[in-house]
């Protein structure tokens, strides 16, 4: 009798584990690269710019799976200074969502333009929060604020390229 129960238990255990593995085989993954260019001019006294970038994972490939999303992972989030001109170089940059501050830093935009060094946006923890927000809402509004550090008359023009590399996994089963 004990052998029968043991065999029944083992059979049901392997059956349920196998079903989960079979279900995992149906996973569909997509790698997205979202890019947005931001052009700003700073001319005058006390100027700053604030705007919103909408990150949405629902492109034409993912829309059919929007109700079956399983995992979203923001792998990389950064910006590069693509163009810079002017005499004002140091700026305070803040990038944030409603729930998370991703970047809050003073940066020399002229040096970043000359070196073409990407600026990483967000820590591992904040990118995990951003990933959860995208999984739950399919899109997230990312706010940015750029303002000069110095006071007085400001003269600068900058073009930023913001890039988010995201992996989306869905399962239609």
Provide the whole-model pTM: 0.81
Angle 75-108-88 from CA coordinates, rounded to 5°: 135
Tell me if residue 125 falls in helix, strand or coil.
Answer: helix
pLDDT of residue 90: 92
More confident residue, 4 or 152: 152
Q: How many CB atoms lie within 10 A of CB 140?
A: 23
Residues 19-40: b if buried by 16+ CB within 10 A, e if exposed: eeeeeeeeeeeeebebebebeb
Q: Is 4 exposed, middle or buried (0-12, 13-18, 19+ CB in 10 A)?
A: exposed
Sketch out the chain's domains with CATH numbers: 27-170 (2.60.120)
Residues 54-81: what's their mean pLDDT?
90
User: Using 50, 70 and 90 to split pLDDT, how confident is the model at 4?
Assistant: low
- Report for 24-38, 56-70, 107-121: range of highest mean pLDDT: 107-121
Q: List pLDDT tens digits, range 110-147.
A: 999 999 999 999 999 999 999 999 999 989 999 999 99
Question: Which run of H or E residues covers position 132?
Answer: helix 124-137
Residues 24-29: what's their mean pLDDT?
77
pLDDT of residue 7: 47
* Residue 63 per-residue DSSP state: G
Tell me if residue 162 falls in helix, strand or coil.
Answer: strand
């Amino acid at each position: 009798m004990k052998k029968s129960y043991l065999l029944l238990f083992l059979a049901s255990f392997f059956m349920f584990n196998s079903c989960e593995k079979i279900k995992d085989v149906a996973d569909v993954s997509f790698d997205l690269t979202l890019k947005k260019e931001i052009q700003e001019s700073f001319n005058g006294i006390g100027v700053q710019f604030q705007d919103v970038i909408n990150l949405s994972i629902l492109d034409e490939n993912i829309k059919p799976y929007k109700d079956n999303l399983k995992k979203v992972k923001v792998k990389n989030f950064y910006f590069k200074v693509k163009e810079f001109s002017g005499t004002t170089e140091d700026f305070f940059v803040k990038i944030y969502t409603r729930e998370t501050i991703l970047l809050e830093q003073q940066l020399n935009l002229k040096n970043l333009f000359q070196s073409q060094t990407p600026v990483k946006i967000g820590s591992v923890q904040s990118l995990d929060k951003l990933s959860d927000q995208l999984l739950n809402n399919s899109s997230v509004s990312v706010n940015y604020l750029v303002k000069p550090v110095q006071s007085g008359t400001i003269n600068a023009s900058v073009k930023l390229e913001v890039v988010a590399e995201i992996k989306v996994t869905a399962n239609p089963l």
